[in-house]
With several copies, the nearest count.
Chain A
Amino acid sequence: MSTAMTADSFTRLTRRQLAWCAAQAIPDGSYVNLGIGVPTLCANVMPADREIVLHSENGVLGFGPAPAAGAEDCDLINASKEYITMRPGGAFFMHTDAFVMIRGGHIDLALLGAFEVSGTGDLANWTTGDRRFPPGVGGAMDLAVGAKAIWVLTEHTTKKGEPKIVDTCKYPLTAAGVVRKIFTDLAEIDVSPDGLVVRAMVEGLTQEALQAMTQPPIRLADDCRVMAAPAG
């Protein structure tokens, strides 16, 4: 496994493919919050054979994919302020009640974006600490402490190629030790008590190459799969 890796030996997933991979992993019947960023894309790629109820902190439960062009409704948006549609069984409610659901432990799973995730599941996704720009926390801290499980969906590295999965978050934390699973454009990784376990990787990626882009030590699951998604 010491063969030299070339930059084009593997292909990163698109944001939509990353969302698709995460969406396929959601248990049937779950109540799931989709956070700002890549997570909100999941609504467009949910598995057709499962009934999963999507929650948005702006007072929506049971929403569906983005509307067709021309069918947008200004009063019907998700946490990322993108247009959505409603599924039968959906409901609207006020913000306070949306956070009763979140803080009160009623959400089975929240998918969140991240600036950084640590090997022990610390999450940093609300501020880079750059005082020139206003920080924005939104519902991230509420979800991080309230949802029964937290998965992170993010690019594996920053635009500069630096790892986003780190030993210690250098950005201010959203919450400590809350992330259970990480989906990136390269791999699906469990945050286990014994460290990071790679459940799947994109075709052509090696453990060494992935480790080079990941600060904490990783190990491959015995049944590590190829991570793939429909084109698009």
Chain B
Amino acid sequence: MPIDKIVPTLEAAVAGIGDGMTIMISGFGFAGVPNDLIEAVLKLGAKDLTVISNNAGTGTEGLAALMGSGRVRRIICSYPRSKGSDKFDARYAAGEIELELVPQGTLSERMRAAAAGIGAFYCPTGVGTELAAGKEVRTIEGRDYVLEMPLRADVALVQAQKADRWGNLTYSKSARNFGPVMAMAADLTIVQAKEIVPLDAMDPETIMTQSIFVDRVVHVDNDREWDI
């Protein structure tokens, strides 16, 4: 039977996302954020979520709407506060969202460790700072490192440029950012792609996320202007 990971609707794409889950959300700033999938998760009503994303959203829609919804218990990110991150800022100030701040490179490396079956790794970033407080420190060849643990998720929501029915993906410019590593680090990887292409349309040399990492693909190509 042909492998077909393409689902017809956003609703079908996010089916099964439930209370208490950990969700990775791709994007850096406004580039590469799967806004339609986030909105579908909001409609689904799942709550008590842990979100792993580099930022915490700006404006009133997409990631910001999720942050403001009261459904996110905790966010793991590197840079939550930006101009316009009012939704998150308010919840944070009110003590309604727990924040785990992780250096950006450590954040992506922890995801990769989860994806690659690495049990833990020694990382030079943050040694001696507040962000490494309480972490095991080890000196290796004269340099200090902190022990960092893998970061996995139940679900990854990823925005891509092109996808085929196996789930092979390409991205657009700096919208690639966290997409590939999140796709690898989650149990269930859900993709919104601007274009669906035939299985033989992608050059095997230039696929950036291989089909093995992708579970569901939904086609989203609207001209909607998001307030993000």
Are the CB atoms of B89 and A133 closer together than 8 Å? Answer: yes
Q: Is the CB of B103 within 8 A of A75?
A: no
Q: Are A94 and B1 in contact (CB under 8 A)?
A: no
CA gap between A98 and B179 in the complex, in Å: 13
A170: chain B residues within 8 A (beta carbon): none
Chain A positions 168 through 202: 1 when the CB is less than 8 Å from some CB of chain B, otherwise 0: 00001111100000000000000000000000000
Category for how many chain B residues contact A: 35 or more
- Complex contacts, A51 vs chain B, CB 8 Å: 1-3
CB contact list, A73-93 vs B, under 8 A: 73-77, 81, 86, 88-93
Chain A residues lying within 8 Å of B213, measured Cβ to Cβ, are 106
A104, CB-defined interface residue at 8 Å: yes
Inter-chain contact A62/B204, CB cutoff 8 Å: yes
CB distance from B160 to the nearest CB of A (A): 11
Are B212 and A142 in contact, CB atoms less than 8 angstroms apart?
no
**From residue B146, how far is it (CB to closest CB) to chain A in Å?**
11
Determine, out of B10-18, B41-49, B164-172, the stretch whose residues face the partner at the interface: B164-172
Q: Give the A interface residue count (CB, 8 A).
A: 61
Contact between A81 and B173, CB atoms less than 8 A apart: no
Answer whether residue B20 sits at the interface, using C-beta atoms and an 8 A cutoff: no
One digit per residue, 1 when the CB lies within 8 angstroms of any chain B CB and 0 when it does not, for chain A 6-47 equals: 000000000000000000000011010000000000000000
Any A CB within 8 A of the CB of B120: no
In B78-104, the 8 Å CB interface with A consists of 78-82, 88-89, 92-93, 99, 101-104
Measuring CB to CB, which residues of chain B are less than 8 angstroms from any residue of chain A?
1-3, 28-32, 54, 56, 78-82, 88-89, 92-93, 99, 101-106, 108-109, 111-112, 114-118, 123-131, 164-166, 168, 171-181, 184, 198-200, 202, 204-205, 207-208, 210-213
6 contacts across the A-B interface (CB closer than 8 A): A62-B211, A74-B31, A98-B108, A132-B93, A134-B88, A175-B129
8 further A-B contacts with Cβ under 8 Å, apart from A75-B174, A77-B174, are A53-B3, A59-B174, A81-B28, A99-B104, A100-B116, A133-B93, A134-B92, A141-B131
